[in-house]
Amino acid sequence: MKIAYLVHFYPKVSHSFVRREIAALEEMGISVDRFSIRSCASELVDAADISELAKTKIVLDTSKLVLLLSLLQVLISRPIRFLKAFKLTCQIGWGSDRGLLRNLMYLAEACLLLKWFKEEDISHLHAHFGINPAAVAMLCNTLGGPSYSFTVHGPKEFDSATGLALSEKINRAKFVVAISSFGKSQLYRWCDRSNWSKIHVVHCGLDKMFLNAPYQPIPDQQQLVCVGRLCEQKGQLLLVEAAGKLAQEGLDFKLVLVGNGPLRKEIEALAIQLNIKDKVEITGWASNSEVQRHILASKAMVLPSFAEGLPVVIMEALALGRPVLSTYVAGIPELVQPDCGWLVYAGSVDDLTVKMRTVLQLPIDELEKMGKVGIQRVAQYHDVKQEALKLGNLLNYEDLIVDPLVLTPVSSNLHQDDVRVTVTK
């Protein structure tokens, strides 16, 4: 059995979880071909991502003529299949916020992938994100291509479920993956109850770079770190506003923002306006090792997001023994609990300010205790090898013998989806 992965942008700075998942599947003996709709090669800074780029076929790196010829070839060779796919394209396109023309482009992409999949003998396609990769996977399957599944991260899929034809994508898929129990519940909302049995939780996972990292004590320096794209939904503007309030109180600290994005200039301007330019550092995009270094140099991770799935950077911080301050959003409360972090109401600058003050004033030994709980929790429930075994089981990979899922809760706050799987070959 040979499977393919399809992502809108791959490799990408913020998609290291996909790379880790693929690597874990390959360690199990599953052959994985990588496909991406678009390239963001210019943003790559991590050596592992640059290496992945060489293994990835980019759909839109081909010319428009090649896409058109692929579409005409399928129309001529599989007219009935093509008409069914065209009808489905119109069906999902008329209700889409991206319109019919963009969905017709997805059909052309599906035709090209159909050719590539036949050449590579692909028997199953797994897409990450329930937006256009899942649409292309569904259309390719309708054309006679391989069965497909997809992982839904949120929040985009839940915010625009009708426009994205999420119910139709679930209905036609072999199975669907949510990355948290919250995500699973949202997928239940947007599909018929008869399809609930095909929805499963497979967490995003970390590899040995974070899970086996030597423990480093929390430093005395008053530094907090936020890792993520600089955009509205990540809440960095409120984070800088809260930092301004703490600075007015006379607290001495540094706030490091690791990432880049459309709000960078606004964040820099706000720091100047609040007279805390010397307390706020924006690093730009960073490699995995640089992210790790910034986390280890800080007392805690702060991520005041308005909308999320379940951020991998939270897992990374906890795995390195750093408590996390985040929001009561989506799947975050499933991981960040009072024994390893703090949660605030999304959008509340006052609540965020209070908890940031708590972090900065809490004794190191209390932070260390919380950090060690975080290390244990991530190791038990976000080990990429363990999660890849669950995915391998869903794929019904013939070379794997997977034991029945056995519930092994570590705390009463964990859900029945948090299971352990063993495998032999």
Nearest-10 crossing angle of helices 364-381, 312-319 = 120
Encode pLDDT of 133-161 as tens digits: 999 999 999 999 999 999 999 999 999 99
Give the Cα separation of 313 and 326 in Å (integer): 11
Domains of the chain are 2-201 (3.40.50.2000), 213-381 (3.40.50.2000)
* pTM metric for this prediction: 0.90
Give percent above pLDDT 70 in the chain. 93
pLDDT for 220-267, tens place per residue?
999 999 999 999 999 999 999 999 999 999 999 999 999 999 999 999
The pLDDT value given to residue 420: 38
pLDDT digits 0-9 by tens, 331-348:
999 999 999 999 999 999
Model pLDDT for residues 294-303, shown as the tens digit of each residue = 999 999 999 9
Residue range 67-80, pLDDT digits in tens = 999 999 999 999 99
Q: Per residue in 362-376, pLDDT tens?
A: 999 999 999 999 999
Looking at residue 97, its pLDDT comes to: 82
382-405 per-position pLDDT tens digit: 999 999 999 999 987 544 433 333
Task: Write down the pLDDT at residue 206.
Answer: 97
pLDDT at 14: 87
> How large a percentage of the chain has pLDDT more than 90?
90
The two three-digit tokens of residue 340, written as one number: 């390893």
Q: Which of 197, 385, 209 is closest to 292 using CA atoms?
A: 209
Of 240, 279, 287, 278, nearest to 259 (Cα)? 287
